[in-house]
Amino acid sequence: MPEPHELPPPPPTGPIGGQLIYVLRGLLVRLRFTHLAERYDSTVVLSVFSLVNGFISIALLATVALLSGQPFIFPSLGPTAFLFFYTPLAPAASPRNAVIGHLIGALAGWVSLAAFGLLHAGPAVGGGVTAARVGAAALSLGLTSGLMVFFRAPHPPAGATTLIVSLGLLRTPLQLTVLMAAVMLLCVQAIAINRLAGLDYPLWARKDGGRGSARPRAPRG
């Protein structure tokens, strides 16, 4: 039996890869539902937890969007939220990589729009795909991929962000500012949930570059 303040090893019935089991068990221990943490570890329970957590993540941002009248939700936030809670200890899921990655994607998309004279054009969904739009999309994704590697801040969902911008769905400075505000709000939630669960989740970047133990400790007391 593990010590009361430690999490048991991951069960064989859990999902392949990831640390979702630790997030769930850490929260149950923090809320003093230790008996549930020891009893329920099936993939079905983890799936339900992931469903509820994903719903809450986007619902909070959607509420902010409703109250502010600004687009605080966009497609690439979905995979970012999944990374935050499925593989929270991976470098790509750190707040640093998320913020820098999405920022690179947004700026690369905007620069690509400017390069092809599309800053004032309507979105590709309504105006159709033109040669200029193809060039902007290709350039934006290339820039995003290269710059994420250069700055050592890989965050796969940023590839979707840059296409959202280069396809004209979000293109004004205000919209891009709101986009980054939404990323930071999601980062705050990731820090709160993962740290509440007892994980060694970074406030900004992993000091060990993600090479440390993937086995977190549950909170004491």
213 three-class SS: coil
Is 160 domain-assigned? Answer: yes
Q: Which residue has the tokens 């939404």?
A: 182
Residue 43 lies in a domain: yes
- List, for residues 150-165, the tens digit of each pLDDT value: 999 999 999 999 999 9
Alpha carbon distance 6, 51 (integer Å): 26
Is residue 221 scored above 50 in pLDDT?
no
Is residue 184 assigned to a domain? Answer: yes
Residue 4 covered by a domain: no
Token digits of residue 70? 């600004």
Residue 197 near residue 26, CB atoms below 8 Å:
yes
In a domain? residue 94:
yes
Q: Does residue 209 form part of some domain?
A: no
Other beta carbons less than 10 A from residue 123's beta carbon: 14
Distance separating alpha carbons of residues 127 and 143, to the nearest angstrom:
24
Residue 190 near residue 20 (C-beta atoms within 8 A): no
Where do we find the tokens 């020891």? Answer: 38
CA distance 48 to 117: 46
Give domain status of residue 24, yes or no: yes
pTM: 0.85
Per residue in 187-219, pLDDT (tens digit) is: 999 999 999 999 999 999 987 654 444 454 544
C-alpha 71/C-alpha 88 separation (Å) is 26
Q: In the chain, how many domains are there?
A: 1
Question: In which domain, by residue range, is 84 found?
Answer: 20-196
1 Cβ neighbours under 8 A, 6+ residues apart: none
In a domain, 10, yes or no: no
More confident residue, 216 or 173: 173
Q: In the prediction, which pLDDT does 87 show?
A: 92
